[in-house]
A and B are shown apart, each in its own frame.
Chain A
Amino acid sequence: METLNYRFDGGDRSLAGMPQLVGVVGSGNLEVLVEPAPLKGACEIEVRTAAVGFGATWQAVMADFHARWRLADARISINDMGATPAVVSLRLDQAVESLLPPASGGPA
């Protein structure tokens, strides 16, 4: 297992509501837990993955995610069992959409 941590500042979109979990920890899949959290405007992401040695890929996928959503005061926690970057991006979008009011628009 490998644990990776990311922190993005400068987001301007806050989440509201109860923590949400999407996805399942199965082969090629992952679960994403997204929670509003007082983080001085930052979005923090912790990834625990069974696929060791893909830090550069995770960094790119997470940077893309932050560019899409620009979340503020959000904590995202991931348990991964070897999901591909496309699956990770879809799950992250699904998780965020579950905590956004319907009228607040999609990703940038």
Chain B
Amino acid sequence: MSSYLELTARQRIPAVFDPGSFEEFLPPSARVASPHLAQLDSPVSFDDGVVVGRARLGGHTVFGAAQEGGFMGGAVGEVHGAKLVGMLRRAIDERAHAVLLLLESGGVRLHEANAGLIAVSEVMRAMLDVRAAGIPVIAVVGGANGCFGGMGIAARCANTVIMSEEGRLAMSGPEVIETASGVEEFDSRDRALVWRTTGGKHRYLLGDCQMLVADEAQAFRDAALAAIAAIRDPRLTLDELLAEQAMLTRRLDSTAGLQEPMDIWKGLGIDDPARVPMLDADAFLQLAAQHRAGVATGER
């Protein structure tokens, strides 16, 4: 058993996809690095912090990417985003069986300003184009840097989001909230609070991620295989969007005034919410099965 969290992007690829099957597009030897960072006299990376290519998963041709959280927090610059978009478009051209994105990103690389913002929006559009072409898109969030900002939104453009408890998914990250709204609003150094608010268990209970697994590369691989097999029609429909909006409206109403995730869990019917962070993945999934938001109504 090996921790997914501890692996680099390049180590995650062979741990999740069929070993030896990965063919990288624009590998480091192509030296397609960020021109913006070079202009700023900042260090660049030969792959601009993302590995993209074509592999096999359970024998099927599955396109994929892995963001490297160790390089600028996995932040998306112009080249990084263009590599993701190019891979996604090629997945459509080559009729991929599915796309699997191993996400770890703080969002837009602010050094690259508008080019980074545009890059993230192009990634979202390309993900939805892949789905519109009838190809499932699966996002995995299990890295130490979590998945925030524009990439947090991009993750939710996928058919299925798979997380570990250690993974985090949100829009503004803890430090951003504290900087913008004050430490009284959110104490970014309170790690337990950070994980209660953005971590995989909270996201699973709220229905923001569809699968929760232990922090093991094999568990993510198995979940990705199961997720792809379970998707009947990956296309996004208007009915689905309307249902999502209705769910978000109900969530806003039912959590109005609540300041603490444990109060929200209590509202979902969990009698002893303080236990939730201590449970391992299996015990948590057993508990969550009865209380997860939207489970009764079939919402996702």
Contacts and interface: CB of A to CB of B under 8 A. Distances in A.
A24 B43 contact: no
A21 B8 CA distance: 12
B10 A26 contact: no
B29 A31 contact: no
B29 A48 contact: no
B146 to A, nearest CB: 16
Contacts of B8: 24
B165 interface: no
A19 B45 contact: no
A1 B27 CA distance: 24
Contact of A26 (B29, B44, B47, B71): B71
B28 A21 contact: yes
B70 A21 contact: no
Contacts of B29: 19, 33, 35
A89 interface: no
Central interface residue in A21, A48, A77, by most chain B CB within 10 Å: A21
B45 A31 contact: yes
B28 A24 contact: no
Contact of A79 (B27, B45, B68, B70): B45
A45 interface: no
Contact of A81 (B27, B41, B43): B43
Interface in B29-48: 29, 31, 41-47
Interface in B19-69: 27-29, 31, 41-47, 68
B91 to A, nearest CB: 23
Give the one of B8, B27, B29, B47 with max A CB within 10 A: B29
Contacts of A50: 42-43
Nearest to B48: A25
Contact of B43 (A19, A21, A33, A80): A80
Contact of A24 (B27, B31, B41, B71): B71
A29 interface: yes
A1 to B, nearest CB: 5
A48 B38 CA distance: 11
A80 B71 CA distance: 11
23 contacts: A1-B41, A19-B29, A21-B10, A24-B8, A24-B45, A24-B71, A25-B43, A25-B44, A25-B45, A25-B70, A25-B71, A29-B70, A31-B45, A31-B46, A33-B28, A33-B46, A35-B29, A50-B43, A77-B31, A77-B46, A79-B44, A79-B45, A79-B46
Interface of B: 8, 10, 27-29, 31, 41-47, 68, 70-72
